Amino acid sequence: MAPQGFDQLQANIPQGKIDTVTYDSKSVGVKRTSLVYTPPGYSTKKKYPVLYLLHGIGGDQYEWLRNGQPQIILDNLYAQGKLEPMIVVLPNGRAMADDRPVGNIFDSTKVQAFANFEKDLLHDLIPFIEKNYPVHKDQKRRAIAGLSMGGGQSLNFGLGNLDKFAWVGGFSSAPNTKAPQELLPDLAEAKKKLQLLWISCGTDDNLMRISTRTHEYLTGNQVPHIFYVEPGGHDFKVWKNDLYVFSQLLFKPVDASRFSEYTISEIPASTQGGSAE
């Protein structure tokens, strides 16, 4: 668990920067915006790995910023020497012309726009970032993670494009997460290409069954992963803690033999054996 003060602004340490960028989305047919966090000490003379960090169904590119303040969490970790320098991209995962979280956010066209974001991400946003920032362009230095609906997107897109992402994280993933057999049809490829697969959820979260069924499938097929069960519900207290722990593992040597150490709570009994969902 993150220590007290991990998300509190420390005025006396170097701080990263958040910019808004606009990119041309050919897949959606409009110009779209995204936030980009560059770390303290950022230099265009260096090359950085990239984390794409996704929001939930009721949010947009500002949701993490408003509720989670990832830049503070990351700045504090950099000050303690605990992070590999990386660029973090916070996109709008609702890939449609009017991508604001207004009206009925559960409307089928808006929900479909979250699935459509896969094309926008792969064909428009990633190429834009790689053209405009000094980033590594290989799979081993590209990560994707998100919360709730964004957790489902991260698992769907990350595991569906193993040539693009080696680091994949689903925080409290929502029912948009594909069934495990669809998520990982080629288990051998996944074992070969994944550096880290992270699944996390709060013990009081009604969506725990989604994470549990994925975890059970991965365990049954001996796919190395971290299943991080923590106290809490479906909220930013949990997701901020997820970011704190997950980010420290990224773009570093991985010791799969220690994955089991990361769970800090028991899986609630009501979700055990729920893999038929």
Q: pLDDT digit of tens for each residue in the chain (277 aa)?
A: 999 999 999 999 999 999 999 999 999 999 999 999 999 999 999 999 999 999 999 999 999 999 999 999 999 999 999 999 999 999 999 999 999 999 999 999 999 999 999 999 999 999 999 999 999 999 999 999 999 999 999 999 999 999 999 999 999 999 999 999 999 999 999 999 999 999 999 999 999 999 999 999 999 999 999 999 999 999 999 999 999 999 999 999 999 999 999 988 888 876 554 333 2
pTM of the model: 0.95
Predicted confidence at residue 111, as pLDDT, reads: 93
| pLDDT for res 263 | 86
Tokens 């991965």 label which residue? 218
pLDDT score for 266: 86
| pLDDT score of 267 | 84
